[in-house]
């Protein structure tokens, strides 16, 4: 029994699940009385909450749909849609305590402390655009996934070699069922797209308006565990399909179907994710992450530095493992589609596979998780971007005497504007989930260069920050939108690598041709990021006493890098080893 393409069991689960999520959002607002409560949950969360928050904030339907979409198009190399963050993950172990020690509510506060008010305003603009595109990718991927599960993505036709009275009855029934879930025209598919997009956006708005970051973190714990389980639960069903014939059968089908120059079993695809492109993306990852507006919450909402460090690094390790499951499922689904001679909308392939493989009850749970993951990820982005506006624009320039209640209200209203803008981006960029994700990834890195340089180089100043950000953003936009290079493999690698290089060069030049930053400002900043939480009495000491010379690793040419602790080294190497092991396991599975 179906209603609008979904089994009644799915509707029942959806209603119950979202009633619970919205109730939790409403309940969470009771303890929110100030900006720190709304933006960072009063820094009260333990290790497991922080692990699930990092996993939930960083895992949304764009990752699942993006990996599945590109894998269905190009094979195993589609895994890099999400794994492009892979080798940035070890650096998360190092980044988390530094961000926590900034003792800020938003990342724009860092820019104000380090570079001044004008730099904070520039960061708000760039971060708002980048994060809005990121939020658009969440909405777009969610909509495409739901379309696929409802069978409303495009006109679907099941083609079989056996036709007429000699056709296999089971295949005839499959064809009848599959076709019944399709739509009659592209116009109808677009109508379903806009309808689902608007409904998803509406639920988004209500949830995040109430609960702030507290609602996101609390729901991340429950839905994170469900997403982990459901990331793998469809794989056995896919492997058991007669058309797939297990993992060996899937690989054989993909080898036989590969066109000249294609290799569906390679982790590197010369047409989209070549080794050079993957290398550039992995180098780009730490810079992009350092500019993410929600970085402050995933690093600083915990009780101490340890919670932020473990949560940020290993919440993302869990995501890397789940990504393997999404890729394996997509490869089995690609083998099935090849054997059936069927084509589908690539961005809706994940929803299609879930609809075909899972029982309606499990479909309902999967769809609930997909939508809830969208809400938590979008909520984290929306809340932090809105917080940037209320904290660094509204309170700084519009109403300096605003009360905490007024700031929370403005944050909520700004969040509505972010969602409205994201809705517009989702409509404008609806042709490709993957391109939307990559735009978000590259655009945030244009300002991430300044964040990193400000932490490592004393001479970096406001002029350097402006020069670096504007030059890097101009470079990326020119290559991405004005030149026909981004759709060529080398062009994508050049866009990523050249953007970082230009940002670095202009940051150095802009700083060296202008006055150095004031000594007292620099020393106050470096004391903050190198004095651990709980040792605030050392902040009143001179820099040479708070961070004595024997603790410094590199000071040449104005650099200021301290010697990593044993905890930092061990954690970094362990995380790097896990990442290498995951890549090795995936390569072994493909051979």
- Collapsing DSSP states into helix, strand and coil, what is residue 302? strand
Domains, the chain, with CATH or none: 2-86+114-161+168-458 (1.20.1730.10)
Q: Note whether 425 and 133 are within 8 A (CB).
A: yes
Taking residues 100-119, what's their average pLDDT? Answer: 87
Q: Note whether 107 and 301 are within 8 A (CB).
A: no
Confidence of residue 161 (pLDDT cuts 50, 70, 90): very low
Confidence of residue 474 (pLDDT cuts 50, 70, 90): very high
Question: Is the model's pLDDT at 159 over the cut of 50?
Answer: no
Confidence of residue 329 (pLDDT cuts 50, 70, 90): very high
Strand-strand pairing, 6-7 and 552-554: unpaired
Q: Note whether 431 and 74 are within 8 A (CB).
A: no
Taking residues 355-375, what's their average pLDDT? Answer: 78
Question: Is the model's pLDDT at 34 over the cut of 50?
Answer: no
Question: Is the model's pLDDT at 120 over the cut of 60?
Answer: yes
pLDDT of residue 486: 54
pLDDT of residue 167: 45
Cα(141)–Cα(349) distance, integer angstroms: 11
Confidence of residue 484 (pLDDT cuts 50, 70, 90): low
Q: Note whether 298 and 308 are within 8 A (CB).
A: yes
Confidence of residue 197 (pLDDT cuts 50, 70, 90): confident
Taking residues 208-235, what's their average pLDDT? Answer: 64
pTM, rounded to two decimals: 0.80
Beta bridge mates, 7: 2
Q: What is the mean pLDDT of the chain?
A: 79
Confidence of residue 537 (pLDDT cuts 50, 70, 90): confident
Q: Which tokens belong to 450? A: 């300044």
pLDDT of residue 62: 72
What are the phi and psi torsion angles at 123 (to 5°)? -60, -40
Cα(133)–Cα(426) distance, integer angstroms: 8
pLDDT of residue 105: 77
Confidence of residue 454 (pLDDT cuts 50, 70, 90): very high
Cα(35)–Cα(318) distance, integer angstroms: 30
What are the phi and psi torsion angles at 286 (to 5°)? -60, -35
Q: Which tokens belong to 167? A: 């056709």
Lowest-pLDDT choice from 3-17, 153-167, 238-252:
153-167
Strand-strand pairing, 561-562 and 2-3: unpaired
Confidence of residue 172 (pLDDT cuts 50, 70, 90): very low
Question: Is the model's pLDDT at 204 over the cut of 70?
Answer: no
pLDDT of residue 14: 75
Cα(152)–Cα(458) distance, integer angstroms: 55
Confidence of residue 295 (pLDDT cuts 50, 70, 90): confident
pLDDT of residue 458: 93
Q: Which tokens belong to 146? A: 């739901």
Sign of the CA dihedral 451, 500, 288, 302?
Answer: negative
Lowest-pLDDT choice from 169-173, 322-326, 330-334, 414-418:
169-173
Encode 260-287: b = buried (16+ Cβ within 10 Å), e = exposed.
eeebbbbbbbbebbbebbbebbbebbbb
Cα(140)–Cα(146) distance, integer angstroms: 10
Cβ burial, residue 396 (10 Å; 0-12/13-18/19+): middle
pLDDT of residue 239: 92
H or E segment and range at residue 421? helix 404-428
């Amino acid at each position: 029994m179906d209603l609008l393409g979904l089994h009644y069991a799915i509707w029942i689960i959806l209603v119950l699940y979202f009633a619970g999520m919205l109730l939790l959002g409403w309940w969470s607002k009771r303890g929110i009385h100030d900006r720190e409560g709304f933006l960072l949950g009063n820094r009260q969360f333990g290790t497991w909450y922080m692990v699930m928050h990092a996993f939930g904030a960083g895992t949304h339907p764009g990752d699942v749909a993006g990996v599945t979409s590109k894998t269905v198009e190009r094979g195993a190399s589609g895994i890099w849609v999400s794994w492009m963050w892979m080798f940035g993950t070890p650096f998360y172990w190092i980044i988390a305590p530094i961000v926590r020690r900034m003792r800020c509510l938003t990342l724009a506060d860092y820019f104000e402390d380090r570079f001044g008010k004008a730099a904070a305003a520039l960061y708000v603009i760039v971060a708002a655009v980048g994060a809005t595109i990121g939020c658009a990718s969440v909405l777009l991927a969610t909509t495409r996934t739901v379309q696929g599960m409802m069978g409303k993505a495009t006109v679907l036709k099941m083609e079989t070699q056996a036709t007429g009275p000699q056709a296999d009855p089971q295949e005839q029934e499959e064809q009848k069922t599959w076709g019944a879930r399709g739509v009659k025209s592209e116009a109808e598919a677009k109508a379903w797209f806009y309808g689902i997009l608007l409904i998803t956006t509406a639920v988004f708005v209500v949830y995040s308006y109430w609960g702030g970051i507290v609602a996101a973190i609390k729901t991340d714990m429950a839905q994170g565990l469900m997403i982990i389980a459901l990331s793998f639960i469809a794989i056995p069903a896919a492997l058991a399909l007669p058309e797939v014939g297990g993992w060996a059968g899937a690989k054989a089908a993909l080898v036989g179907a590969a066109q000249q120059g294609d290799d569906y079993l390679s982790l590197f695809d010369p047409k989209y994710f070549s080794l050079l492109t993957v290398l550039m993306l992995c180098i780009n990852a730490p810079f992009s992450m350092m500019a993410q507006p929600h970085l402050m919450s995933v690093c600083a909402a915990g009780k101490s530095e340890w919670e932020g460090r473990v949560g940020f690094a290993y919440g993302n390790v869990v995501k890397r493992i789940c990504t393997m499951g999404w890729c394996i499922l997509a490869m089995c689904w690609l083998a099935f589609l090849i054997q059936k001679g069927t084509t589908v909308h690539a961005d809706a392939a994940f929803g299609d596979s879930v609809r075909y493989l899972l029982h309606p009850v499990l479909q309902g749970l999967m769809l609930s998780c997909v939508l809830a993951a969208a809400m938590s990820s979008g909520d984290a982005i929306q809340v932090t971007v809105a917080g940037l506006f209320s904290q660094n624009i509204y309170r700084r320039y519009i109403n300096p005497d605003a009360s905490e209640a007024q700031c929370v209200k403005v944050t909520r209203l700004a969040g509505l504007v972010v969602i409205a803008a994201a809705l517009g981006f989702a409509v404008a960029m609806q042709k490709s989930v993957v391109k939307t994700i990559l735009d978000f990834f590259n655009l945030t890195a244009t300002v991430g260069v300044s964040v990193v340089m400000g932490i490592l180089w004393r001479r970096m100043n406001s002029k350097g920050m402006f020069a670096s950000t504007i030059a890097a953003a101009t470079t990326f936009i020119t290559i991405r939108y004005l030149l026909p290079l981004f759709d060529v493999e080398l062009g994508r690698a050049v866009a990523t690598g050249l953007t970082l290089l230009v940002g670095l060069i202009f940051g150095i030049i802009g700083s060296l041709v202008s006055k150095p930053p004031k000594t007292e400002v620099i020393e106050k900043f470096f004391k903050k990021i190198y004095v651990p939480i709980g040792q605030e009495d050392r902040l009143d000491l001179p820099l040479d006493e708070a961070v004595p010379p024997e603790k410094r690793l590199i000071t040449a040419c104005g650099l200021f890098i301290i010697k990593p602790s044993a905890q930092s080294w061990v954690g970094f190497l362990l995380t790097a080893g896990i990442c290498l092991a995951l890549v090795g396991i995936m390569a072994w599975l493909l051979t």
